[in-house]
Chain A
């Protein structure tokens, strides 16, 4: 089991929270960068337009020949202006730079407005300094207008916004992370409950069920699905347990009888009738042999895939039935009649078909008073094998039960060789595994069991016929 720390590090909750936070952080950083750069550009642009307009105003004054020696400017801005003539002589300047040297060389004639960055300002400011250079005056007296401005206010504004973002963004991210952690935790809590409960459920506690959260969301559906799975597991487990208990019971009885007969024989010494003992022991051995054979066959059938995953040889059920009836030792006083019409081909391994016919005839002749009749016929794409006896019959309530493993009806137990109750279970397994149905059907006298198997002559069975037979099983 991983440590608690490792579990937290690897948890969906942590990973989802981290992912959400990282995505939000990246988006916010990109957004902030764009915001700051746009903000700065917009501030710079405003300052620049103001300076250019101011230069144009001065140029207009100069062009009209009404240039004052001291240029009036709004003083609160860190701006200044200067006008020089073509020889570089200062003609006019704003009060804050009066008497200073020219800010640059005269602009070449017929040039347009130019805005450039300068290293230091005449006002000795540290911030970014820009200078607008605009040619003015007349052709006879060309002048050059300089207006300078500082970007210090926009730098301050940008700095304030950046600082605000630097403080605000981490706080916002914390809120995002905390909220995600909480919401995801709440969403995952039922899953953790289900997991904890599921880990408690072992093969010993299959009767337990997972808590199903209310509603119909994914988690509720998951819990419901897992509970259905548990129910199926429990049913399979119980069935297996019953089967093992029944099998051990049915195997112990002949063993007990065998051992008692042999030990009684030994204890009796010379007085023992050894022939009786050996005949009795052999009878128990035969019982065990049949049971082991049947159990092995059932185990093998359990592992055989269903019909459509497998290709079986085509055999004629008529041949099988005829051979079986010819070779079978039938109880004294029982007559077996057969009515076999040709062409009853089915897909099934030969030995399984023999067991199918053999078990049905055995079962019928064990319960019959005098007559057993076996019929094989084909109709509607199905092969119908019917075995009828004139015995006591099977009560409708028991007709499903007799096909379960180890079911022996009470009157069947009274028979000398009642079998272990596996014969009909094997019949049912063989038939259903080959796409057919088997059921006891109503009849006037005795019991009538009807097997239907798909005809293997290439035609498709008529579905209705199968359903008709299947309805008897229910």
Chain B
């Protein structure tokens, strides 16, 4: 497994490299954001450990840049800041985990192992399907440049479908994942929300992105195609 460590504290970076190599990882070290960006572009790392406060290109910017160009390497952010908003911002920019300094080396190792289990799967912080964009962090939905106002339930149904683009999802899948155990109502409630969603995200744009597959369920497709 090959790791990239982006950290401007030379001795800390050196210690991490020694320690992680002793655990059997291959470790590259970058001392600033630009170098890290370059290394990440040249190699496919299995996980990246980065400090947020590094010179030239900070952790937030680097993380956003990596995700933008489709690099889904798991990212663990390190920071000496201890604000809860810093942590939330790091995770919402696309980082997978967060550790504040000073950290325990044992915990760092365990978290890196957990990140490696996740793999380089696509797991965007902001969901897109064609020009439909859904941001679960800010709870905003837009198509093109038009902001779409969704109710909480509509948002949840759409988010569930956008996480499975092109897949067939059944009515009971949606019921199971969007409604809680206590829901004992008519399964037709899904149809009601589906037609509300179509009215908001498709019809005003003359697009048909939610397909109904009679007898099996729904499929979200890139409506332009």
Question: How many whole Å from B5's CB to the nearest CB in chain A?
Answer: 11
Write the chain A residue with the least CB distance to B106: A263
When the two chains form their complex, are residues A268 and B18 in contact, meaning their CB atoms are under 8 A apart?
A: yes
How many chain A residues touch the partner (CB < 8 A)? 27
Task: Point out the residues of chain A lying under 8 angstroms from B103, CB to CB.
Answer: 256, 259-260
Asked if B119 is an interface residue, CB under 8 A from chain A, the answer is no
Asked if B26 is an interface residue, CB under 8 A from chain A, the answer is no
Against A, the Cβ 8 Å flags (1 = close, 0 = not) of B1-32 are 00000001111101110110010000000001
Question: How many whole Å from B31's CB to the nearest CB in chain A?
Answer: 8
Asked if A284 is an interface residue, CB under 8 A from chain B, the answer is yes
Task: Point out the residues of chain B lying under 8 angstroms from A277, CB to CB.
Answer: 15
When the two chains form their complex, are residues A260 and B83 in contact, meaning their CB atoms are under 8 A apart?
A: no
Known pairs A249-B81, A264-B19, A413-B55; A280 contacts B11 (CB<8 A): yes
Question: How many whole Å from A258's CB to the nearest CB in chain B?
Answer: 8
Question: How many whole Å from B160's CB to the nearest CB in chain A?
Answer: 38
**C-alpha gap A249/B102 in the complex (Å):** 10
Asked if B53 is an interface residue, CB under 8 A from chain A, the answer is yes
**C-alpha gap A261/B108 in the complex (Å):** 13
Question: How many whole Å from B108's CB to the nearest CB in chain A?
Answer: 8
Q: Which of A245, A255, A271, A410 contacts B81 (CB 8 A)?
A: A245
Q: Which of A253, A284, A410 contacts B55 (CB 8 A)?
A: A410
When the two chains form their complex, are residues B22 and A257 in contact, meaning their CB atoms are under 8 A apart?
A: no
- B→A interface (CB under 8 Å): 8-12, 14-16, 18-19, 22, 32, 53, 55-56, 78, 80-83, 100-106, 108
**C-alpha gap A174/B9 in the complex (Å):** 81
Known pairs A249-B80, A414-B55; A255 contacts B102 (CB<8 A): yes
Against B, the Cβ 8 Å flags (1 = close, 0 = not) of A238-279 are 000000010011101101111111011101100100000100
Task: Point out the residues of chain B lying under 8 angstroms from A416, CB to CB.
Answer: 10
Task: Point out the residues of chain A lying under 8 angstroms from B80, CB to CB.
Answer: 248-250, 252-253, 256
Q: Which of A255, A263, A265, A283 contacts B11 (CB 8 A)?
A: A283
Known pairs A271-B22, A283-B11; A259 contacts B105 (CB<8 A): yes
When the two chains form their complex, are residues B22 and A260 in contact, meaning their CB atoms are under 8 A apart?
A: no
**C-alpha gap A245/B100 in the complex (Å):** 14
Task: Point out the residues of chain B lying under 8 angstroms from A257, CB to CB.
Answer: 9, 11-12, 15
When the two chains form their complex, are residues A256 and B102 in contact, meaning their CB atoms are under 8 A apart?
A: yes
When the two chains form their complex, are residues A245 and B18 in contact, meaning their CB atoms are under 8 A apart?
A: no
Write the chain B residue with the least CB distance to A263: B105
Question: How many whole Å from B170's CB to the nearest CB in chain A?
Answer: 49
**C-alpha gap A263/B15 in the complex (Å):** 9
**C-alpha gap A77/B96 in the complex (Å):** 117
Against B, the Cβ 8 Å flags (1 = close, 0 = not) of A384-414 are 0000000000000000000000000010011
Q: Which of A248, A260, A283 contacts B105 (CB 8 A)?
A: A260
Question: How many whole Å from A72's CB to the nearest CB in chain B?
Answer: 111
Write the chain B residue with the least CB distance to A252: B80
**C-alpha gap A271/B18 in the complex (Å):** 11
When the two chains form their complex, are residues A260 and B81 in contact, meaning their CB atoms are under 8 A apart?
A: no
When the two chains form their complex, are residues B101 and A268 in contact, meaning their CB atoms are under 8 A apart?
A: no
Q: Which of B14, B55, B83 contacts A280 (CB 8 A)?
A: B14
Against B, the Cβ 8 Å flags (1 = close, 0 = not) of A401-439 are 000000000100110100000000000000000000000
